[in-house]
Amino acid sequence: MSNSVVHLEHLTKQYIKSSKPAVSNVTLEIPEGAVFGLLGPNGAGKSTTVMLLCGLMRPDSGSVSVMGLNVLEHGAVLRKQIGVAPQEIALFPSLTAFENLFYFGRMYGLGADFIREQIKKYLKVFGLTEKAKKPVHTFSGGMKKRLNLIAALLHQPKLVILDEPTTGVDVQTRNMILDFLRELKGQGTTIIYSSHILEEAERICSHLGIIDEGRLIIAGTQSSVMEKHPDCQNLEQLFLKLTGKNIRD
Partner 1 sequence: MKILATIYKELLLLIRDPGGMALIFIMPLALVIVMALVQDAPFRDYQEIQLEVLFVDQDADSLSAKVKEAFEASPNVNLITKTDTAEAKKLVQAGEFKAAIIIPEHASETLRRKTRQLISTVFSNFGLPADRTDSAVLPVIELKIFFDPAIKANYQQTLSNAIEKIIANVQTSWVLDELQNQLSEGNAEAQKTDFDLSQIIHVSQRYASENKYQGLMLNSVQHNVPAWTMFAMFFILYPLAGNFIKEREEGSMLRLRLISGSQLPVIAGKFAFYFIVCLTQFLMMIAVGIFVMPHLGLSKLVLGGNAVLIFLTASCVAMAATGYGVLIAVYFRTAHQALSFGSVSVVILSAIGGVWVPVYVMPEILQTLSRFSPMSWGLESFNDLFLRQASIHTILPNVLRLLGFALVTVSASVIIHHSRTVV
User: How many Å from the N-terminal Cα to the C-terminal Cα in the chain?
Assistant: 36
Shortest spacing between CB 96 and partner 1, in angstroms: 9
In the complex with partner 1, the residue whose CB is nearer, 94 or 223, is 94
Q: Do the Cβ atoms of 45 and 25 come closer than 8 Å? A: no
Residues forming the site for partner 1 (CB under 8 A): 15, 54-58, 75-76, 79, 82, 84, 86, 88-95, 99, 103-104, 106-109, 135, 151
Is beta strand 69-70 parallel, antiparallel or unpaired with respect to 35-39?
Answer: unpaired
202 sits in which H/E element: helix 198-204
In the complex with partner 1, the residue whose CB is nearer, 79 or 174, is 79
In the complex with partner 1, the residue whose CB is nearer, 35 or 151, is 151
Shortest spacing between CB 134 and partner 1, in angstroms: 13
- Give burial (CB, 10 Å; 0-12/13-18/19+) of 225: buried
In the complex with partner 1, the residue whose CB is nearer, 167 or 172, is 167
Length of the chain: 249
In the complex with partner 1, the residue whose CB is nearer, 149 or 226, is 149
207 sits in which H/E element: strand 207-212
Shortest spacing between CB 80 and partner 1, in angstroms: 9
Sequence-distant (≥ 6) Cβ neighbours of residue 209 within 8 angstroms? 28, 36, 37, 38, 39, 216, 218, 219
Shortest spacing between CB 103 and partner 1, in angstroms: 5
Instruction: Measure the CA–CA gap between 228 and 208, rounded to whole angstroms.
Output: 13
Shortest spacing between CB 23 and partner 1, in angstroms: 12
